[in-house]
Amino acid sequence: MSYADPPAPRRLQPGETPPAASGNALLVPGGQATAWVFNPEYERLVTLWDSVMPEMRKISELLEQPYTMARSTDTWNAAVAQRYIEKISEWRTRLGLYRQAVLTAISDEAADTPRWVPSTSGAPHAYS
């Protein structure tokens, strides 16, 4: 079964740099230069996504094997087989909804979380 997963949070890429300085007062508080760090909260979401995906794949595979076997006429061909297939289909649907909910929650949180945040240390300050 294939899924249309939401976009995953992007890892820090080699050579990726923080936002460029601009005239925006929000990016340069008090007119001083700001040091930027990759947001640890965003990195947490990347790690969470990476830990959830293998588990989702494993659960999908565990349901897929009995579903495929149950649909085969080599396994059985009776009314009980149809009920068994329907039950597994229901579980596959529930898994798809659960997967969509979990991954969408992570993806939405990542979309609302800035990749870079001003550092509380390392920025040049007067009298430091």
pLDDT tens digits, one per residue of 20-76: 765 554 555 555 666 788 999 999 999 999 999 999 999 988 988 888 888 877 777
Counting the structural domains of the chain, the total is 1
The tally of CA atoms less than 13 A away on the side-chain side of residue 66 is: 14
Determine, yes or no, domain membership for 64. yes
Task: Please indicate, yes or no, if residue 91 is contained in any of the structural domains.
Answer: yes
Highest-pLDDT range among 78-82, 94-98, 114-118, 120-124: 94-98
Question: Distance (Å, rounded) from C-alpha 120 to C-alpha 18?
Answer: 15
- Domain assignment present for residue 86? The answer is yes
Task: Tell me whether residue 9 is in a domain.
Answer: no
Does residue 51 belong to any structural domain of this protein? yes
Residue 93 domain boundaries = 37-114
C-beta separation of 3 from 101 below 8 A: no
What would the two tokens of residue 33 be? 């230069």
pTM: 0.75
